[in-house]
Structure 1
Amino acid sequence: MVWGWAVASIFILFVGMSMAELGSAAPTSGGLYFWTHSFSSPRCRNLLSWIVGYTNTIGSVSGVASIDWGCAVQVMAAASIGSGQTFVPTNAQIFGVYACILVTHVFICSLATKILARLQTVYIFLNLILCFAVIIALPVATPKEFRNTASFALGNFTNLDGWPNGYAFILSFLAPLWTICGFDCSVHISEEASNAATAVPWAIVTSIGVAGVLGWAINMSLAFCMGTDIDGLLDSPIGQPMAQIFFNSFGQNATLALWSFVVLVQYMMGSSMLLGASRQTFAFARDGALPFSGWLYRMNGYTKTPVNTVIYVAILSLLLGLLGLAGPSATNAIFSMSIISLYVAYAIPIAARFVFKNDFKPGPFNLGRFSMPVATISVLWMLFMSVVFLFPSLPQTDVADMNYTVVVMGGTLILSLAWYYCPKYGGVHWFTGPVKNIGSKEWDKGSSSTSGKQDKDSIAAKRHAEAELGGEKSDC
């Protein structure tokens, strides 16, 4: 818990620095798949861009689902604490709360950009308060019987999964990888930001750095104040080990007060993830690559935000959340899929910059001669961890405990590739990657509202309209 977080945070920072270079050079809401198309060979750029766009979309949707499902579980943990630990929620009840959270997030993420920016400031402030409250107040309030020695907090190793200790330690990376992920959100809202070439890369790097340091400090505080009965924490009727640690230290009323902030911060994180996911989906839809692209590529006339994509991502997240009804293994698949999908989407453009011949021009944020070593470490790390999280949590497993990440993610990717290579209507016949975007009637007519099909004629018409309107000056 302590050292796994520290090790993983360092490698995540490498990934963030590699992405920050790309975000500084080309800050656009299309981000990952835009970079992939720009840096890859003409022979494979369309296919790679298609794959990155879909894995980024899958990762963003599953990220929203995993965060909001976690928030629903935390709400139910609060109900359990308030009932004196007599209330044990069912999966159906958790899903009901999850659906309500998603609906409220749709309204929040449909607001105007200026309002969302002010909300983000509030989110950061409350997040920092919560972090320092746990780091400082928990050790002060913890009774003596739950305080641990330094040898236990920093040196004890408890392996309950049956894997060899080395591999079990690697599995501890799931917590920081899931928590410090989705930092591509900064890229996806770059077209709504000022001074994006500087703001976006530093947003990526500083968010990872702050999350890594504060997260490690919180884990240290928990390790010293959790007691030694780890089985008791995991099997707590509250359903959340962290909530049980708070309950042991603060008592019922104080735990409910502190836990309300935990729920609130998790709720805010979910809305931020939906915000970034909707912008990435909007960017992919304006190139006609998603189903219903004609409907998705619409800006709301009142809020000036892509409300349709907010609704679209929320619906997909709701459907993905149905997996939670199948039990813990299916829920874990959602969490793992959010990491693996995003890592595939991160790794391809980072590698493409160096693997293929291109005219990459660095932005204000540049690692110089360290760019290639950092990118190499980043890609190898993401490849390794993607393989790790396809394995089940237990070495001896059955149908119920299998890791279904490969099924859900693999099935989605197979369907997307099937659509790409579909005879006559597939993306291979009309998808040319990111195209210049300026409002034109020809483009609106060329995009199908039911299938997102974009044929060669519609692309040509769009580019012709851009040329007439001075589209060369309108590149994002």
Structure 2
Amino acid sequence: MAATAPADLRPDPPVPPAAEAGSSLEEFGYRQELHRSLGRYASFAAGFSFISVLTTVFQFFAVGYAFGGPVFFWTWPAVLAGQLLVAACFAELAARYPISGAIYQWSSRLSNLTFGWFAGWIMVIGQVVVVAAAALALQMVMPPIWSGFQILGGDPSPLSPTGAANAAVLGTLLLVLTTWVNVIDNRVMSVINRIGVTAEIIGAVLIVVLLLTHSERSPGITFHTSGAETGLFGALLVGSFTAAYVMIGFDSAGEMSEETRDPLRTAPRTILSALGAAGLLGGLLVLGGLLAAPSLTDGNLAADGMSYVLTSSLGDGLGRVLLADVVVAIVVATLAVQTAACRMLFSMARDGQLPCSGLLSKVNRRTGMPTAPALVVGVLAAALLLLNFSSPDAFLAIGTTCIVMLYLAYSMVTGPLLVRRLRGTYSSRTDALDEAGKPLFSLGRWGLPVNVLALLYGLFMTVNLAWPRAEVYDPAGGHWYFQWFTVLFLSGTVALGAAYRTYRTYKRAASAR
């Protein structure tokens, strides 16, 4: 097993009681406070529901098609390959550091506490933004099911003023529900997650089959562009936003390690299986949508995306039933993302690394859930939804910002891991065993090339997604702050974190005098 955290990670750790069977927390100086009740499928569900192909494909298909045309399909296998490289590195770390707050914990142990803290800080803020973005997805599917869900009236398109405002209303109501579930009990949360993921997988498979059997054209259409002014390469760069947004959050199985039975064996496998399953299903959904769309040129596909395909190709009745399954997926996805953010806050607070750490690290003994983090994440995500009232362009700005922050946080793990490999100070420990007495997951001799490619891919996509393209983020003009929203938000996050770290250091120095 890997070495324990740096000495300053937990300045005065309490003496932990005997760990439960399969728990390795003693070794890291932590008490077993969260209830260890999640099995392998629940662990898989945590990662799959965060990715949530139905939520994200339905939410961002229109964006990818609008800027890339049919050829944007090929960004899907490219992004999947890149993310599998990252996931392979994470799977190796999950087998050695089975601790909540995975990104923060892994980065801290591979580098130092300060660098790891910033990785965790960027990750948790990004997760809060993902919660808000996931909740906004309801607008893509609920009004097409029933016009009564357009509470504020007017145009239901999420890019229209009334649609954007209504998305914020629906999203806020959803956040109230997911926050409540995140407070009740982790077993209740797990049951909802498993049922939701099962329904999502069944629904996704059914949608794929129906779309492919209602094809209007051949797969050769995927080699066509929409005549974007930026050319083929530019179309692919922007078209990759859809795949990039979908295939994040597979690290959630690592986030839930302290609540998972046999985490050394389970977490690495579910990280890879959740991403693999989501990648396959999502790719088929995108392909099916392109093949079954009644028209590729009438503008509906670039405006309403997959919702338009389902209701137009499969009929209103069946289309609405399938859209109802998408609603379930969105609810479960929002719940899963909020849970992951809660575990990150809990992990950092447990180390005394956040304001109000005592409150944020408190676990309800009866429920096995940290209550305060759930409330904090819910309130902050709801506050972000208010941006949707100001302008429809906030939808894409919020969505892209959360992707960039997660990609950057991932690189703050693969980067230090690569440095350790190059220095020869990282040991894959192929002789170590998991709970079943089998060798821990290891990349072996493939570790270095996989790590190099994972880091290069992550940095490239971070720059690609954050690049302030006016035609993407401010198409109507006059809102420069949306064009630069991702850069400004990320800079503000880092600046706020640096200010807090400086204040904390000053306060410690003053108390020591």
TM range (shorter): 0.7 to 0.9
1:217 maps to 2:298 = no
- Which of 158, 165, 175 is equivalent to 1:92? 165
Are 1:28 and 1:190, in contact at CA under 8 Å, matched by a contact in 2? yes
1:202 maps to 2:269 = yes
CA-to-aligned-CA distance 1:15-56 (integer Å, 9 cap, x gap): 11111111111110032222222122xxxx232012111011
1:150 maps to 2:150 = no
- Which of 94, 118, 122 is equivalent to 1:23? 94
CA drift of 1:258 comes to 1.3
Q: Distance in 2 between matches of 1:276 and 1:421?
A: 27
Q: For residues 87 and 242 of structure 1, do their structure 2 counterparts lie closer, same or farther at Cα, with a shift above 3 Å needed?
A: farther
1:379 maps to 2:455 = yes
Q: Distance in 2 between matches of 1:59 and 1:159?
A: 33
Q: Distance in 2 between matches of 1:67 and 1:173?
A: 18
Are 1:72 and 1:101, in contact at CA under 8 Å, matched by a contact in 2? no
Q: Does the residue aligned with 2:384 lie in a helix, a strand or coil?
A: helix
What is residue 386 of structure 2 aligned with on the other side?
322
Are 2:144 and 2:320, in contact at CA under 8 Å, matched by a contact in 1? no
CA-to-aligned-CA distance 1:119-146 (integer Å, 9 cap, x gap): 232122111111111111223356xxxx
Are 1:148 and 1:228, in contact at CA under 8 Å, matched by a contact in 2? no
Are 2:91 and 2:267, in contact at CA under 8 Å, matched by a contact in 1? yes
Q: Distance in 1 between matches of 2:503 and 2:336?
A: 35
Report the count of equivalent residues.
417
Are 2:349 and 2:358, in contact at CA under 8 Å, matched by a contact in 1? yes
CA-to-aligned-CA distance 1:46-83 (integer Å, 9 cap, x gap): 32012111011111111111111112443234334999
CA drift of 1:235 comes to 6.1
- Which of 345, 363, 381 is equivalent to 1:299? 363
- Which of 245, 248, 253 is equivalent to 2:317? 253
Deviates more, 1:379-388 or 1:297-306: 297-306
CA drift of 1:6 comes to 1.4
1:172 maps to 2:262 = no
Specify every segment of 5 or more residues in structure 2 that has no aligned partner in the other structure, as ranges. Answer: 1-71, 157-161, 433-439
Deviates more, 1:122-131 or 1:397-406: 397-406
Q: Does the residue aligned with 2:184 lie in a helix, a strand or coil?
A: coil
Please give the TM-score of this superposition, normalised by the length of structure 2.
0.76
Q: For residues 88 and 249 of structure 1, do their structure 2 counterparts lie closer, same or farther at Cα, with a shift above 3 Å needed?
A: same
- Matched letter for residue 107 of structure 1: W
- Matched letter for residue 380 of structure 1: L
- Matched letter for residue 266 of structure 1: I
Q: Does the residue aligned with 1:88 lie in a helix, a strand or coil?
A: coil
Matches within 5 A, 1:92-131: 92-131=165-204
- Which of 110, 130, 134 is equivalent to 2:207? 134
Q: Distance in 2 between matches of 1:293 and 1:233?
A: 49
Matches within 5 A, 1:398-409: 398-400=477-479, 402-409=483-490
- Matched letter for residue 39 of structure 1: L
- Matched letter for residue 391 of structure 1: W
Are 2:84 and 2:272, in contact at CA under 8 Å, matched by a contact in 1? yes
What is residue 401 of structure 2 aligned with on the other side?
337
Q: For residues 257 and 280 of structure 1, do their structure 2 counterparts lie closer, same or farther at Cα, with a shift above 3 Å needed?
A: same
Are 1:72 and 1:94, in contact at CA under 8 Å, matched by a contact in 2? yes
Matches within 5 A, 1:359-438: 359-362=426-429, 364-395=440-471, 398-400=477-479, 402-422=483-503, 425=506, 429=508
Are 2:428 and 2:442, in contact at CA under 8 Å, matched by a contact in 1? no
What is residue 80 of structure 2 aligned with on the other side?
9
- Which of 192, 196, 216 is equivalent to 2:259? 192
